[in-house]
Structures are given as C-alpha cells and as structure tokens.
C-alpha cells in the first residue's frame, strides 16, 4: 500500500506523534495484511459517511479503511553527503509516497532545540536542502549521461535533457523539483527518476498544549503556512503531546476530551485525512448486513482493479459492479428506494470509480 513517511529534526516531536499513531488503536484482526514492521503505524481513516451507512444498514460489524505511516528516524543534516546513516535516511525516504515533515512550533526551555532556538523556517530549509542536494546529484549524473546520448543523435535524449535541465535549474535555486513547470510528457520522464523532492510534502506544525485551539496566533505556524504556500503544500497543526494523550483514552472518552480543549477534530485525524488525499487516495464502500466497510483505491482506478483491493479473485473474475453514490443512498435512506429512483447503476470493466461509491461486485469464481 501507499505510505507517508514522518521526518523531522531531532526533538521536534516525531516520536511523540508516532506513539500516538501506533496507540491510536486499530483492531489488528480487521487488517490481517498490515505489516508488523515496528517503524510502520497503521491508523484507521476517519469517515463520517461510514457512520451514516452503519446507521442505515445496521450491520453486525463496521470496518474503516486503514492507512500507514512510516517513522523515518535517522540523521538529517549532512545526509546528502552520503555518510552511512545519512544514506539510510535518504533510502528510507525514497520508499515512501509522501513526506510528513514535523516542524517544531512550540517553545519549551527544557527541551533542547538542535539549532539553539525555535525557528521553523531554518528547520524546514535544513531538511529540504538535504533532499534537494541528493536530487541534484542524481540529476547532474543523469544529465552527463544524456548529453552523450544527444551527441550520439538519440532523439529521445533531447527531450529528456530538456526536462532534466528544467529540474536542475529549480534544484539549483534550492527549491523542490515538484515546483518545476513541466509539460505532461516532461513530467512523465522526470517521474521515472523518483526524485525525493517530487514526492508530495505535508508540513505538521507541532504547537504547545495551550496554543492548539488558537494556532493562528502562533507566529511560527504562520511562517510555516507562508512557506508551504510557496510550494503548494498543506499544513496541519497538531499538539503531538495531546495526540499522545488522546491515543491513550478509550474511544468514547476522546470526543469529550477534544471538546474540553475546544477542538473539533483531533490533529491526528486531520493529518490522516490530509495525507490520504495528498496521496490521491479515495474511498469506496461495501454495505452488507454482515459488514459495512470502507476500502481505499487510487483515484483513476477502474472497476476491476478496485475489486482487486478486496481480493485478487474479485479482479480476475470481475463481471460488473452495481454502484450507487453515497449521496444518493444517504438521501434515499435505503436500497429499495435507491432502485425505485433508478439510482443504482450497473457498471462494467471501464468504469472509473468515484470517491463515495457504494458497491456490490458481481464476479465469477
Ligand atoms: P523527536 O526527537 O522528534 O522524536 O522528538 P520527541 O517526540 O522525542 O520529543 C522531544 C521532546 O519534546 C519530548 O520531551 C516531548 O515530550 C516534547 N514534546 C513533543 N511534542 C510536544 C508538544 O506538543 N508540546 C511540548 N511542550 N512538548 C512536546
């Protein structure tokens, strides 16, 4: 599955956040495929539509879809120079599909800051620069090779060289490759290299307990937001310590705890949903009397592939999918009315799934 990696300088709150993630309480029995890697934390994706479907269908069991975060520990500064641990840090980032960068926005004189003072933009620059330098090295090497191919009259090489030079210019100006202005063809060429700074970045501003309900008045948060805007990235504000406390509570107590703090939704839930959509993920539902369940697919996936998310047999033997949108089902209140209204569609192999589709698959075994 797709995963988002958590990175950040030392003492910014990564471990605290990751603890919250691993303690948040997925029911392991529901996710037998979940990895047992200690650096991977599985969380359930909060979705109010699932609650509504449960209310309508009254199943024996409801299962949310799940999502993975990977804890990327290791040294950051100097990583691109490729010394042992630094190499490993970059290799770990290479394996994730999106990056969640935790940034310290809380002051606490008892907790050392590696740079001596709280300064989120310096922290962001430190990390991003390592990623940019690693990419630049890779791109420069490739450019040298492609230049030779151009000399040898290789037509495809000309196009590749153009794309790479655009990216190199962006990297040399110390900006991430993802802001490069590329045509669709050029983007396809560059994607092939799996550059670190092409991966979507999500900033996680970690604020103190007493500021989380009023994050807008925190100047550090504002600085992170301004920076993120320049590269089209999202910012989620959390207090990692509170998230850790919440994760230790029983689910029924969590809501009350949040209300006391004046927060509507936990920061972790916001982070999960933001990472999910940043990765281009979407949800469809199956809604039977035994089980109402949410499933993750990648936007753009067609019906057979989506069936394969449940089981490979479903993909192989796919015949058709009976589909109603969540909105139509929720408005109608039950399947009988949905059918009377002509809102149940029979879709074939070419159907592109939409977020919120409620589905029954027909397949050969
Ligand atoms: P890491 O090195 O990035 O993994 O950082 P840790 O999660 O170990 O946190 C470093 C220190 O900062 C610990 O003492 C945490 O308790 C503290 N810390 C983390 N998040 C918060 C927060 O939101 N508020 C405050 N006051 N302290 C925090």
In this prediction, residue 60 carries a pLDDT of 96
To test the pocket of ligand 1, the residue of 240, 244, 247 to mutate (highest count of ligand atoms within 8 Å of its CB) is 240
The answer to whether 80 touches 130, Cβ cutoff 8 Å, is yes
Q: Where are the beta strands (DSSP E) in the chain?
A: 3-7, 40-44, 61-63, 66-71, 98-104, 201-206, 234-238, 281-287, 291-298, 318-325, 345-347, 357-363
| Residue 302 DSSP code | B
The answer to whether 142 touches 53, Cβ cutoff 8 Å, is no
Cβ 106 under 6 angstroms from ligand 1:
yes
Range of the domain at 241: 3-47+63-112+199-278
Domain presence at residue 107: yes
To test the pocket of ligand 1, the residue of 241, 242, 266 to mutate (highest count of ligand atoms within 8 Å of its CB) is 241
The answer to whether residues 225 and 326 belong to one domain is no
Is 11 annotated to bind ligand?
yes
In this prediction, residue 50 carries a pLDDT of 96
Ligand 1 atom nearest to CA at 8: 3
What distance in angstroms lies between residue 48's CA and the mean position of ligand 1's atoms? 31
- The sign of the CA dihedral 323, 326, 329, 333 is positive
How many angstroms separate the CA atoms of 363 and 277, rounded?
29
The answer to whether residues 23 and 37 belong to one domain is yes
How many angstroms separate the CA atoms of 217 and 200, rounded?
27
The answer to whether 4 touches 275, Cβ cutoff 8 Å, is yes
Nearest CA to ligand 1 atom 2: 11
The answer to whether residues 87 and 155 belong to one domain is no
Domain count, the chain: 3
Closest CA to 25 of 258, 237, 244: 244
Domain end, chosen from 278, 309, 337, is at 278
The answer to whether residues 257 and 316 belong to one domain is no
The answer to whether 271 touches 236, Cβ cutoff 8 Å, is yes
- HEC sequence for 85-104: HHHHHHHHHHCCCEEEEEEE
Domain presence at residue 52: no
Ligand 1 atom nearest to CA at 17: 7
Q: What strands, in cross-sheet order, belong to the sheet with 61-63?
A: 61-63, 291-298, 281-287, 357-363, 318-325, 345-347
Ligand 1 atom nearest to CA at 9: 3
The answer to whether residues 131 and 232 belong to one domain is no
Closest CA to 122 of 114, 111, 133, 110: 114
Burial of 31: CB neighbours in 10 Å, binned 0-12, 13-18, 19+: middle
ipTM of the prediction = 0.96
Question: Could you report the per-residue pLDDT of 181-200, keeping only the tens digit for each?
Answer: 999 999 999 999 999 999 99
pLDDT > 70: percent of the chain: 96
The answer to whether residues 192 and 223 belong to one domain is no
Nearest CA to ligand 1 atom 6: 13
Whole-model pTM: value is 0.89
How many angstroms separate the CA atoms of 10 and 90, rounded?
16
In this prediction, residue 25 carries a pLDDT of 65
Q: Is 25 left (phi over 0), alpha (psi -120 to 50) or beta?
A: left
The answer to whether residues 160 and 34 belong to one domain is no
Backbone angles phi, psi at 221, to 5 degrees: -60, -45
Q: Which residues of the chain have pLDDT under 50?
A: none
In this prediction, residue 79 carries a pLDDT of 74
What distance in angstroms lies between residue 239's CA and the mean position of ligand 1's atoms? 9
CATH number at residue 191: 1.10.150.300
What distance in angstroms lies between residue 15's CA and the mean position of ligand 1's atoms? 7
Q: For residue 201, give both structure tokens.
A: 């970045």
Cβ 13 under 6 angstroms from ligand 1:
yes
**H or E element, residue 138:** helix 120-151
Domain presence at residue 294: no
The answer to whether residues 136 and 216 belong to one domain is no
Residues 6+ apart with CB under 8 A from 32: none
SS3 352: strand
Backbone angles phi, psi at 94, to 5 degrees: -60, -30
Backbone angles phi, psi at 238, to 5 degrees: -140, 165
Ligand 1 atom nearest to CA at 208: 24
How many angstroms separate the CA atoms of 171 and 136, rounded?
6
CATH number at residue 349: 3.10.20.30
The answer to whether residues 205 and 193 belong to one domain is no
What distance in angstroms lies between residue 205's CA and the mean position of ligand 1's atoms? 12
Cβ 113 under 6 angstroms from ligand 1:
no
C-alpha pair distances (Å), 10 with each of 13, 17, 77, 142, 290: 8, 13, 10, 33, 46
The answer to whether residues 168 and 180 belong to one domain is yes
Cβ 85 under 6 angstroms from ligand 1:
no
Cβ 241 under 6 angstroms from ligand 1:
yes
Is 14 annotated to bind ligand?
yes
Ligand 1 atom nearest to CA at 239: 23
What distance in angstroms lies between residue 206's CA and the mean position of ligand 1's atoms? 9
Ligand 1 atom nearest to CA at 108: 26
Distance in angstroms between the alpha carbons of the first and the last residue of the chain: 25
Q: How far out from the chain centre does Cα 108 lie?
A: 29
Q: For residue 190, give both structure tokens.
A: 């560059």
Beta bridge partners of 237: 205
The answer to whether 28 touches 34, Cβ cutoff 8 Å, is yes
Nearest CA to ligand 1 atom 19: 13
């Amino acid at each position: 599955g797709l995963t988002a990696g958590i990175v950040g300088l030392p003492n910014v709150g990564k471990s605290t956040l990751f603890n919250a993630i691993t303690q948040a309480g997925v029911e392991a029995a529901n996710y037998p495929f979940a990895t047992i890697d200690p650096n991977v934390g599985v969380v359930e994706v909060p979705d109010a539509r699932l609650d509504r479907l449960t209310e309508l269908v009254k199943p024996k069991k409801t299962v949310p879809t799940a999502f993975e975060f990977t804890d990327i520990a290791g040294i950051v500064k100097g990583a691109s120079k490729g010394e042992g641990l630094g190499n490993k840090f970059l290799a770990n980032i290479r394996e994730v599909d999106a990056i969640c960068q935790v940034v310290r926005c809380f002051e606490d004189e008892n907790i050392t800051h590696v740079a001596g003072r709280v300064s989120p933009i310096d922290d962001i620059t430190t990390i991003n620069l390592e990623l940019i330098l690693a990419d630049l090295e890779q791109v420069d090497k490739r450019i040298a090779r492609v230049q030779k191919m151009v000399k040898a009259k290789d037509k495809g090489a000309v196009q590749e060289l153009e794309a790479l030079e655009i990216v190199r210019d962006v990297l040399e100006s110390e900006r991430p490759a993802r802001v490069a202005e590329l045509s669709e063809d050029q983007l396809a060429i560059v994607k092939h290299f799996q550059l670190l700074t092409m991966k979507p970045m999500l900033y996680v501003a970690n604020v103190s307990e007493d500021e989380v309900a009023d994050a807008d008045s925190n100047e550090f948060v504002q600085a992170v937001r301004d920076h993120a805007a320049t590269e089209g990235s999202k910012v989620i504000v959390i207090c990692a310590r509170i998230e850790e406390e919440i994760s230790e509570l029983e689910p029924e107590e969590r809501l009350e705890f949040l209300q006391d703090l004046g927060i509507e939704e936990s920061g972790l839930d916001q982070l999960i949903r933001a990472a999910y959509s940043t990765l281009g993920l979407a949800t469809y539902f199956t809604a039977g009397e035994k089980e109402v369940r949410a499933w993750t697919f990648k936007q753009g996936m067609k019906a057979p592939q989506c069936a394969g998310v449940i089981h490979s047999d479903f993909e192989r033997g796919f015949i058709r999918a009976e589909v109603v949108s969540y909105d139509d089902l929720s408005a109608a209140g039950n399947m009988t009315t949905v059918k009377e209204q002509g809102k149940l569609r029979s879709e074939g192999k070419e159907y592109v799934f939409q977020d919120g589709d409620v589905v029954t698959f027909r397949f050969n075994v």
